[in-house]
Chains A and B, each alone.
Chain A
């Protein structure tokens, strides 16, 4: 069975601070995908990034960066120079190809001006 653990529940930072959101996953599949979704106060789920199990190359996209490490089953997400608009719930998720997403419980990020 697949499992996603987001141990942090709430994080509060001051604008311009860097913040890292942790995600640990469990799966017996050799091929799988990892995702981060953002849920702003308006409620929709916004796709941020996908990584497959064969691609451990970490990436930076603007203020966002991701650190995928298969050895520790972790897929962490960092926001650099946080902004108030980054305030949201962030979900890490896991899936097999063409299968359901298994979500973590989410991390509520509050960025204070």
Chain B
């Protein structure tokens, strides 16, 4: 069964460093999303991406965040200068066009900022 793949599973970084979280969405999906979940809290939307551009973003997704689809398979989230409060689980999701509109999630990347 096709699945969303995220790497790495755990990323440890120093405050102020740049990190890139990687995602390979399901191959025939056209809508891509990033969410984050601070430990013990609810899942929060960051950004959605369609047709090679951001379609929606939340207040959390400020100038230190960016997304990119560098090739036909990868979808990345970059945090330019990490802060302690960026420590969270980051989930990538994708969905196909059409009536199904179900977002399937990857296993997540746990980001720890020290």
The reply to whether B107 and A43 form a contact with Cβ atoms under 8 Å apart is: yes
Inter-chain contacts of B58 with A (CB < 8 A): 100
Interface residues as binary, A65-85 with B (CB distance below 8 Å gives 1, 0 otherwise): 000000000000000000000
A100's closest neighbor in chain B, by CB?
A: B45
Which of B43, B93, B95 interacts with A98 by CB under 8 Å? B95
Tally of A interface residues using CB under 8 Å: 23
- 17 A-B residue pairings within 8 Å (CB atoms): A33-B101, A37-B105, A42-B107, A43-B89, A43-B108, A43-B110, A44-B106, A46-B105, A91-B42, A91-B43, A98-B97, A99-B56, A100-B56, A101-B45, A103-B42, A103-B43, A105-B42
Count of A-B residue pairs with CB < 8 Å: 57
The reply to whether B41 and A44 form a contact with Cβ atoms under 8 Å apart is: no
Tally of B interface residues using CB under 8 Å: 27
A91 to B45, CA, bound (A): 14
B104 within 8 A of A: yes
The reply to whether A45 and B101 form a contact with Cβ atoms under 8 Å apart is: no
B30's closest neighbor in chain A, by CB?
A: A98
The reply to whether A100 and B42 form a contact with Cβ atoms under 8 Å apart is: no
The reply to whether B101 and A50 form a contact with Cβ atoms under 8 Å apart is: yes
Task: Given A43-B89, A43-B107, A43-B108, decide whether A97 and B101 contact each other with a Cβ distance below 8 A.
Answer: yes
B103 within 8 A of A: yes
Inter-chain contacts of A93 with B (CB < 8 A): 43
